[in-house]
Structure 1
Amino acid sequence: MTKKILLMYLLIFLSIFTKEIPKKDIKSIYISPYSFSATVKRMEDELKKMEIPIFAKFDHSLNAKEVDLNLNETMVIVFGSPKVGTLLMQKKPEIAIELPLKVLISTNKYDQTEIRFQDIEKIAKNYNLENDEIILKMEIFLNDLVEKVVVKD
């Protein structure tokens, strides 16, 4: 057989037997120029400056260490404005499962610090709030917040 025929069969096979990889719930990944601990501190400081309460911090790497397991530095910071969250929950009470907001700060296999957060557009779609003004502002807020944290002084 010729190379063209083999290539054609390969393309047909791939188009029939491969699936589209589903979109993940994480929309944004930012690489911080700072260390893990400095990035966490900058996030905490920025939230404090904006008078946004931090409700919880989950240090997954510390938890792993306590059970004799290894995990790259990994922390989830949970924060938000009760005023904003309450307005959303008044519209759609079931959105409470998505609130408050959270960011994941972790180190990757290249020892870079990453900041990630959930896809607000996808969350909005799940609750039929795609064009909601509060949702749109939340997405802008999250991107602006993380950009302030990762921008070099």
Structure 2
Amino acid sequence: MHLLRMTTVAATFCVMAPALAASSNGIEYITSDSTFEQVSEQLNAALDEKGLTLVATIDHTQNAANNGLELPPTATFIFGNPNVGTPMMQCQGSVALDLPQKMVVRETSDGVRLEWNAPEYLAERHGLEACDLPLENVANVLRDVAQSAAQ
């Protein structure tokens, strides 16, 4: 009986846990079974919890509708922490093209997907390798934020 309960709990967790994967071109993503609205709300909360400043949210679906076009629910959240981004820009000013960090939330046929640029990709793209930057810490924070949002 005890083993059966543990198996049921484990199976339930596996079904409810968001799937994390890495994609090509430095884009990381996680897919959630939650609604677009839930993921968006949870993303806002996760950013706040991590002390990240939300700079803007772009509602691409509404922008498309304003021009007579259709787009599944899609939004870009622009956020950052000047204590992390500024040293990156001091190292190489071109990284300002990609900062503040962005996370896209969009509805797909596989669920709601959160996507973001891997910090290692930005380091390679902008030649930040020679600088002493906490890229692994940044990557971990981004994954934590995405996982919190995807719950």
Cα distance between partner residues in 2 of 1:59 and 1:47 = 18
TM (normalized to structure 1)? 0.76
Shift of 1:26: 4.5
Aligned residue for 2:52, secondary structure, equals coil
TM-score (norm 2): 0.77
Q: How does 1:34-113 map to 2 (within 5 A)?
A: 34-110=34-110, 112-113=111-112
Moved over 4 A (4+): none
Partner of 1:133, secondary structure, is coil
1:59-81 residue CA offsets vs partner (Å, 9 max, x unmatched): 00011111111100000000000
- Aligned residues of 1:28 and 1:119 also touching (Cα < 8 A): yes
Q: Any gaps of 5 or more consecutive residues in structure 1?
A: 1-22
Post-superposition shift, 1:96? 1.1
Partner of 1:67, secondary structure, is coil
Equivalent residue, structure 2, for 1:25: 25
1:35-76 CA distances to partner (integer Å, 9 max, x unpaired)?
001100000011112221100111000111111111000000
Q: Deviations over 1:79-134 (max 9, x none)?
A: 00012111111111221111000100000134x11101113222111222247432
**Identical residues among aligned pairs (%):** 23
Amino acid aligned to 1:105: V
The match for 2:5 is none
Q: Which has the higher strand share?
A: 2
One-letter code aligned to 2:81: S
- Where structure 2 has 5 or more consecutive residues not aligned to the other structure, the ranges are 1-22
Greater alpha carbon shift after TM alignment, 24-33 vs 60-69? 24-33
Q: How many residues align?
A: 128
Match of 1:128 in 2: 127
Contact 1:75–1:106, Cα closer than 8 Å, also in 2: yes
Larger Rg: 1
Contact 1:85/1:99 (8 A) holds in 2: yes
